[in-house]
Amino acid sequence: MAFYHFLAIFPSLLVFLGLARRVPQLGAHARDTILDLSQQLLPRPASLLFENMMAELNQRALSGQLITSLAGALWAALNGTWAMIFGLNMAYEVQERRPWWKLGAAIVGLTASLAISGSVALLLIFFGGELANRFSRQHFSLDEAAIVFRGFEWATLFALLMFSFALLYRFGPNLRDHKWRWSTPGALFALILWVGSTLAVRLYFEHVNNYQRVYGHLNSVVMLLLWLYITNGAILIGGEMNSEIEKAGAKRDGGERSSAKVKQGARDRSGS
């Protein structure tokens, strides 16, 4: 999962930047928003890698040749979603028995929904920042506006991640009659685990060991891969939690139905 998502990140960003440049006053702001998020989430060397790659991708986006990048992004993203479905099937202890066309539709649908959610999150963060800046000129100081902007930014990110996780748990594993209520607890837990592990990894790399001696100039790549590995691990652990909650709920419902049948049989016998 981390491998395919790593391959999908930069071609997807190139396509996003190329499309954003076609919207007036959006291209540079979209790039700055992505860089700002990477600096907040990733360790310093990994965020520097992101910054350098974004500078190169921004230059390539000017050429307008996005077909090859789009094909590479689609291939890696679809394979990443397929790997995620495979992992969720293991977490829910089910086998993949859907026909190829239904599995393909699930892969394409989930990939498209996650891409749209990510794009919507970036756009909401960008436009929220613009609104906060305009509103601050009339009602707040610059520092207060920055706090409001950060709060809106993280609230937007959390809401979109929560929705994306719940969407994966609802349509990813091969489950019949799977309800939304069994998707939300694990989605919330996965979000909390992801935030905690992201902060822990960042503190570890910045204050304990940055892998510079072992990997040299590749340490930033290793950090990004490890961050993706932890992110996907949080998703699978959230799916495992949903699976156990759903099993417990099924046993409880089955026990209640059995008890109701016994009581009804006793009433029938006493009435006869």
| Average confidence (pLDDT) over 178-183 | 63
DSSP 272: -
pLDDT tens-digit series, residues 3-62: 998 988 888 888 888 777 777 666 667 777 788 888 888 888 888 888 888 888 877 766
Q: Of the candidates 8, 6, 56, which has an alpha carbon nearest to the alpha carbon of residue 31? A: 56
Rounded Cα distance, 29 and 133, in Å: 13
pLDDT at position 119, please? 81
pLDDT at position 205, please? 83
- The DSSP string of 64-133 is ---HHHHHHHHHHHHHHHHHHHHHHHHHTT----S-HHHHHHHHHHHHHHHHHHHHHHHHHHHHHHHHHH
- Residue showing tokens 């990813």: 172
Mean pLDDT lowest among 36-40, 104-108, 222-226, 254-258: 254-258
What's the token pair of residue 205? 């790399």
pLDDT tens-digit series, residues 160-176: 888 888 888 888 888 87
**In Å, what is the CA distance from 93 to each residue of 12, 60, 114, 129, 239?**
32, 44, 24, 43, 10
